[in-house]
Amino acid sequence: MAVLPKKDVVIIGYGAAGGPISVELSKAGYSVVALERGEHRTLADFAPKAFDTLRWVTRREMVPTIEEMPLTFRSDLNEKATPVPYIMANTVGGASVHWSGQSWRYYEEDFRVKSTIEELYSSEQLAYLEEDGANIQDWPITYDDLEPYYEKTEYHVGVGGWPGNIQGEIRPVDPEEGNPFEAPRQRDFPFRPLRDNATDITFREGALNLGLNPFHVPTAITTEAYTNPDGVERAACSYCPFCTSHGCWNGSKSDTRVSLLPTAEATGNFELRSNSHVLRINHENGRAVSVDYIDLITGEQHTQPGEMFYLGAYSFQNVRLLLYSGITGGGQVGKYFINRSGPSVHAIFDDRYLNGYAGPAVQRQGLDDYNGENNVDEKLQMSLDDFFVRGAFIGSPSQRNPLQTYGARPPEVPSWGVAYKEYFTENLNRYIGLQLLQEPLPYETSYIDLDPNYTDKFGVPAARVQRQAKQNEIRMSRYIYQKGVEILEAAGAARVWGSDTPRPSATMTHDLGGLRMGSDPSMSATNRYGQLWEVPNILVGGGALAPTMSGHNPTETIWTLSYWTSAAVLEGKLDLEDSQAFS
């Protein structure tokens, strides 16, 4: 085992989280190395010959196998967990390479959910949350803390949208477009989002018929030739439909690799090592000293010493690495895991074709009328048995080619035979399935630990996920299901169907918590900058930091938290010897 020259900063996992900090610290003169388990794929790997749903969606070519990156799941804590497939990419740029590109700022109240619901609702209304073991905490930071870094993400990574709120002015650019509920931004987006397609126009009609406030979602896709403030040049999107689960063929879908890697590399202080699988963090006297990793090409094991370590892998893997390295945070590491489960709503139209195959998934109208506490007046009127807190974004995705869509059928249609064939041949291009992005809550019984029965092929225990849907998720699902049905019926759908029951699972691509930030070391894993309470020279990135989830996609916030932590390092706001000595 070779001990390599020491670096100032060792980044473990080079996805969304690893991108900003690698740029900011290497620009400032730190020597930075990023160890990424996946391959270094370039645009040529996603060129037109790779316009192949079978490779990237069905067979998940970028996603590790169960033996390589095992995950096990159980809902019932008395049962044995079973291995389940992983669905997040291992590749340079991580899941930001195969994501959809739906890119949001969280709401102001998303950072203070506990305070918000206690202000709005009575203790009688909220009593069921305690029965279910919900453990909701405000973030130790506010929207205002992050606002400048959200802007930095939008301009550097590349996010387009219609502004819903600039410095308090609602829909200042287009009175028909933008999210009117969004938190105030200081500055407009650098460019506009993708256009509406036939599915979006149809969804929008339904929403407007109900008096709701639809808008085109903000998209991290360059819709025009764009040069970011560091001089990174990007091409315009061609509206190709090989988007979600694929890498982008011309680099117009924003990811850490196309948006940020060129800037880090240009500093001369940054080194990226792909195919590098980190096994453990070595620590002495309360400080991390090095990591051991395997070069997956040669099979050789190396030790990489460093001054500061940044956890940039996916939430499960960050937790697993710490636990396997013997860092438990007094029991806080792995706790309060949150991921989505919720209803589904589908429909077919008999008066029009929607041709949902003809565009990227994130071409999407949506609405936030039922998200967060935007529907507080309706909630205040609900019976105690129906009442719930938080809500969901509802949107209209595309990218509906046959290989991704063959499973979508109403319950009266069988899964095979003449009746199935006649249904699917008639309706593929008349079909829409909604995105219903529910905000679930953290619970005492939802957590990640090491599986006692299963390991990966290197002998490291699998990450075991415990997750349940409780009363809040079940009530919210019934409500959101009904809202989805109403929108599609108001849009003129001929047949609407779905499920109003949440089915919890290990991973739904929005898998947060496990290393939540907080003010109190006995109730959180890190301080407000993502610095581990237990080992002060380990900084945490990614969704694991989130105390609560939001009804929006998390990736823009993950990039933004990486800028936030980087700034704290550069401005001397944290002390690598003492996590409690921050300012």
CB of 374 to another protein, least distance (A): 19
Single out the segment in contact with another protein by CB under 8 A; choices: 220-228, 393-401, 557-565, 570-578: 393-401
Q: Considering the rule CB under 8 A, would residue 453 count as an interface residue with another protein?
A: yes
Q: How many CB atoms lie under 10 A from the CB of residue 103?
A: 29
One-character DSSP codes across 153-196: HIIIII-B---SEETTEES-S-TTSS-TTSPPBSS--SB--PPP
Site for another protein in 224-253 (CB under 8 A): 238-242, 244-245, 249
Site for another protein in 154-213 (CB under 8 A): 195-198, 201
- The nearer residue to another protein, 283 or 400, going by C-beta atoms, is 400
- What are the Cα distances from residue 516, in Å, to 81, 115, 167, 228, 468? 24, 17, 30, 31, 19
Q: Considering the rule CB under 8 A, would residue 406 count as an interface residue with another protein?
A: yes
Single out the segment in contact with another protein by CB under 8 A; choices: 125-133, 255-263, 400-408, 562-570: 400-408
- Which tokens belong to 51? 């316009």
Q: How many CB atoms lie under 10 A from the CB of residue 97?
A: 26
- The nearer residue to another protein, 13 or 356, going by C-beta atoms, is 356
CB of 239 to another protein, least distance (A): 4
- What are the Cα distances from residue 371, in Å, to 117, 265, 389? 13, 40, 10
* Rounded Cα–Cα distance for residues 512 and 301 (Å): 30
- The nearer residue to another protein, 306 or 498, going by C-beta atoms, is 498
Site for another protein in 502-521 (CB under 8 A): 503-505, 508-510
* Rounded Cα–Cα distance for residues 263 and 156 (Å): 10
Among 212, 347, 428, 493, binds another protein (CB under 8 A): 428
Among 46, 454, 497, 529, binds another protein (CB under 8 A): 454
Q: Considering the rule CB under 8 A, would residue 4 count as an interface residue with another protein?
A: no
Among 6, 60, 273, 287, binds another protein (CB under 8 A): 60
Q: Considering the rule CB under 8 A, would residue 25 count as an interface residue with another protein?
A: no
Among 3, 127, 414, 581, binds another protein (CB under 8 A): 414
Site for another protein in 324-363 (CB under 8 A): 340-341, 344, 352-355, 357-359, 361, 363
Q: Which residues face 63 on adjacent strands? A: none
Q: Considering the rule CB under 8 A, would residue 468 count as an interface residue with another protein?
A: no
Q: Are strands 511-514 and 335-339 parallel, antiparallel or unpaired?
A: antiparallel
Report DSSP state, residue 58. Answer: I
Place of tokens 């895991």: 337
Place of tokens 């779905």: 498
- The nearer residue to another protein, 141 or 354, going by C-beta atoms, is 354
Q: Considering the rule CB under 8 A, would residue 7 count as an interface residue with another protein?
A: no
* Rounded Cα–Cα distance for residues 434 and 157 (Å): 27
Give 421's contacts (C-beta < 8 A, 6+ positions apart): none
* Rounded Cα–Cα distance for residues 79 and 448 (Å): 15
Among 10, 11, 23, 57, binds another protein (CB under 8 A): 57
Q: Considering the rule CB under 8 A, would residue 217 count as an interface residue with another protein?
A: no
CB of 405 to another protein, least distance (A): 7
Are the C-beta atoms of 41 and 90 separated by less than 8 Å? no
- The nearer residue to another protein, 26 or 404, going by C-beta atoms, is 404
Strands (E), 20-167: 32-35, 71-74, 82-84, 165-166
Site for another protein in 269-308 (CB under 8 A): none
CB of 235 to another protein, least distance (A): 12
Binding residues with another protein: total (CB under 8 A): 95
Single out the segment in contact with another protein by CB under 8 A; choices: 206-214, 276-284, 392-400, 538-546: 392-400
